[in-house]
Amino acid sequence: MAEATQYMFTHREVVTALLKKQNIHEGIWALAVNLGFGVVNVGPSQDDINPTAMVPIMGIGIQKSDSLNALSVDAAEVNPLTE
């Protein structure tokens, strides 16, 4: 059997993992992505270059949310406090 070389996760799976990592047990939390922005001139040759936007992902995290949606989870459901 071939060794896996990539694992993909849904937005909610990422939020759930971060809630567990941070030991958060209450509230609605959503995925947060911090983006940067840059511009460069690129093309196949000097005669065919164009201004091109670069948008790097600078960070991934979680933030409090008011409602559940495709990017959020309820911490009490996915990471309940156990006594």
- To the nearest whole number, what is the mean pLDDT of the chain? 96
Find all residues with CB under 8 Å of 20, minimum gap 6, and list them. Answer: 78, 79
Burial class (CB in 10 A: 0-12, 13-18, 19+), 54: exposed
Cα distance between residue 24 and residue 15, in whole Å:
11
Each residue's pLDDT, cut to its tens digit, for the chain (83 residues) gives 789 999 999 999 999 999 999 999 999 999 999 999 999 999 999 999 999 999 999 999 999 999 999 999 999 999 999 87
